[in-house]
Amino acid sequence: MISVIVCTYNQQSTIGRTLESILRQKCHMPFEIIIGNDASTDGTESVCREYAERYPQTIRLFNNEKNKGLIDNYYDCLLETRGEFVSEIAGDDFWTDDQKLEKELRILEENPDVALVHTNWQYFDEASSKNSPSPVKRFTKPLTDGKEMLEAIITQTHSPVIHMCTAMYRKDIVIKAYKNDTYLFRNKDFGCEDLQVCFMCAQEGEIAYIDDVTLSYSINNNSISGNDDFARQFDFVRKTTSLSRYLTNKYFHNTYATDAFFGKRLFAMSMHAFRAHSVEMRDKVRECVKEWEMKLPLKSRIVDFVMSNNALWRMALAFRAPFIYLKKKLR
């Protein structure tokens, strides 16, 4: 009835915790666990294999000989699932509610118009082992017409609108969309695997929400948002924005909110390029402007002007440095 996808890579210290949180689930229908180990180089494979041997009726382990990346790993796992409904969880996160699957399954069984159900969640700091509330704005009603959410999903208004590691969705909706537009799901340059699923489920049905915390979302210093690696941050913003642009052009339409969103993303990319003093990144921003058929916002045009002259660029960086130093000192 239910398939739980676990994509993992080099998570030896946390994957056992993740699997235990799934195995503790109390559900009136059986579930399977599909593990996609993406050619981990640490001890992740041995931990996964140990669990697969202990629970052969529940766990199916797929060890990739070569690293596929999250997108191919996820959708290869999805195509292997046998369940009518699908949940997922990352190999460093864990469910905190042993009724998580049960609560979501009952909603999907009783409401055929519901395409996806999700819940509230919390942060888990690996360094301190402390939980903190999610800053995301909670849903105000248990059922929402998915079409009302499409703009918010594209723009990630509350970032994220739906945390997919809390969700359960109807597999047939996603598989149908996958067959109709495989490029949307398999294009590695889109940078993520979950926004597509959220959007297609919202387009096809209602979205249910349970205001219970069921997930601890792990944060650490290696996350893209938690480091000063401008190249990684730039690439992440560019890829995910390209996905949002594709969804807008093919399945939605431009609105004031989407235009504002893409303008902010272009400015974020421009600033990453500026801080990294990278001509290559600057040129990629210009390419995106043409590809997305947009105009640079005023702030981005100013940054682009500065980056057009290397001497001016270096001067601006030098002028900015003491302010950044003071800002870090005052934290």
User: Is the separation of the CB atoms in 268 and 300 below 8 Å?
Assistant: no
Q: What is the pLDDT along the chain (331 residues), one digit of tens a residue?
A: 999 999 999 999 999 999 999 999 999 999 999 999 999 999 999 999 999 999 999 999 999 999 999 999 999 999 999 999 999 999 999 999 999 999 999 999 999 999 999 999 999 999 999 999 988 777 878 999 999 999 999 998 766 689 999 999 999 999 999 999 999 999 999 999 999 999 999 999 999 999 999 999 998 755 444 446 889 999 999 999 999 999 999 999 999 999 999 999 999 999 999 999 999 999 999 999 999 999 899 999 999 999 999 999 999 999 988 877 677 667 6
Tokens encoding 189: 């340059």
Tokens encoding 148: 């009302």
The residue length of the chain stands at 331
Closest CA to 2 of 61, 86, 60: 86
For the chain, what is the largest distance between any 2 Cα atoms, rounded to a whole number of angstroms? 67
Q: pTM for the full model?
A: 0.92
The rounded distance, in Å, linking the Cα atoms of 25 and 19 is 10
The secondary structure of 172-205 as a DSSP string is HHHHHHHHH-HHHHH-GGG--SSHHHHHHHHHHS
Rounded CA gap, 45 and 57, in Å? 19
Structure tokens at 212: 């219970």
- CA geometry: angle 323, 327, 328, nearest 5 deg: 120
